[in-house]
Amino acid sequence: MKGAAKLGFPVVRLQYFASVAAERLIPYAEKLNLKMGYELHASLNIEAPITQGLLEQIDRLGSDRLNGEFRTFLKTKGWRQLDCRQNRLLGFARSCTAGSEGPVFR
């Protein structure tokens, strides 16, 4: 993390298995002014139990320093197919309400 900060990178990507250490890394991310994001690849989609666990952790910790990097999912399905909670946790929408034809994002 220190190396990323020294090189001017604002985001450090974490693999899903780093979730056991993510909570302890938040103070360091704050000190170094970094954000951490989980990076998922093809076999882990948004519905996968591992991904749902990561979303639950992001929600539970409530830190703006921990988020998700779900580009693979977004390329195949698009962010509008995420539910309101998932959009809020991943930072794609500031607000979201349930509409008659699905979520309405702002």
Q: Which residues are catalytic?
A: 41
In sign, the C-alpha dihedral spanning 17, 91, 26, 33 is positive
Which 3 state secondary structure label does DSSP give 102? Answer: strand
Please state the separation of Cα 28 from the chain's center in Å: 18
